[in-house]
Chains A and B, each alone.
Chain A
């Protein structure tokens, strides 16, 4: 059983690290797309992916690596002190989830405004390429 314990700690640590590495790799690819690609709609797509990835990373930080984690919702309307104490042993962190809901709403507001701006830019200049939109601008 000692071997299984050692292996399971190893497995938990490195699988968790791989989860974070995959999330940060996704964020890096989205950041690359945001900076390098000149099309406005592609930039907006990359912005939504970037925001969503960091939101999931925050929630992953509040996760507990136990056998049966539970969402932070008390399952009864008449709790006893013992039930509360037992619930504390299984519940997942509620604070990152509340902050992420606020972040989702604010990202939604920004992205919807940016999309309307992009449509208006196409209406006026008939192009969505950032280089052509700024041609004849203040660095030309």
Chain B
């Protein structure tokens, strides 16, 4: 018995994308709000992983190779160098 030809097939990719972008939004909120810069860098790397999986769903393999190496590999490493040479905790204080 074969499956009926329901034209919902295009939705499955979009449902997965909706989940991934929600995860990315929550992680970026936690990254901006946290006062520990190390945690902010790690949350931002997690958000990049969510975007990388979204790029696979969006069928963009070239962009995926470039984005994965740069955003999950290079940015956290450069920012960790910077945090190591400077301060780890954001000093409190209002906006500016």
Show the binding face of A for B, using Cβ within 8 Å: 4-5, 8, 11-12, 15-16, 18-19, 22-23, 25-26, 29-30, 32-33, 35-39, 41-42, 44-46, 48-49, 52-53, 55-56, 59-60, 63-73, 92, 97-98, 100-101, 104-105, 108, 111-112, 115, 118-119, 122, 127-131
Q: Interface size on B (CB < 8 Å)?
A: 54
Q: Name which of A39, A56, A128 has the most chain B CB atoms within 10 A of its CB.
A: A56
Query: How far, in angstroms, from A101 to B11 measured CA to CA in the complex?
Result: 27
SS of A interface (majority): helix
Query: How far, in angstroms, from A4 to B79 measured CA to CA in the complex?
Result: 49
Show the binding face of B for A, using Cβ within 8 Å: 6-11, 13-15, 17-18, 21-22, 24-25, 28-29, 31-32, 37, 40-41, 44, 47-48, 51, 54-55, 58-63, 66-67, 70-71, 74-75, 78-79, 81-83, 85-87, 90-91, 93-96
Please determine whether A29 and B25 come into contact, CB atoms closer than 8 angstroms. yes
Q: Please indicate the chain A residues that have their CB under 8 angstroms from the CB of B9 in the complex.
A: 66-68
Query: How far, in angstroms, from A66 to B13 measured CA to CA in the complex?
Result: 9
Question: Which of chain B's residues has its CB closest to A22's CB?
Answer: B21
Query: How far, in angstroms, from A79 to B21 measured CA to CA in the complex?
Result: 37
Query: How far, in angstroms, from A15 to B48 measured CA to CA in the complex?
Result: 21
Known pairs A55-B67, A60-B58, A66-B10 / 15 extra A-B pairs, C-beta < 8 Å? A4-B8, A8-B11, A12-B11, A16-B14, A33-B32, A38-B94, A59-B55, A63-B58, A97-B63, A101-B62, A101-B66, A104-B63, A112-B78, A128-B86, A129-B91
Please determine whether A15 and B78 come into contact, CB atoms closer than 8 angstroms. no
A37/B8 contact (C-beta < 8 A), A22-B25, A56-B51 known? no
Which of B14, B32, B54, B70 sits near A37, CB closer than 8 Å? B32
Closest 9 CB pairs of A and B: A67-B9, A33-B32, A22-B21, A65-B10, A38-B96, A8-B8, A15-B14, A122-B86, A36-B95
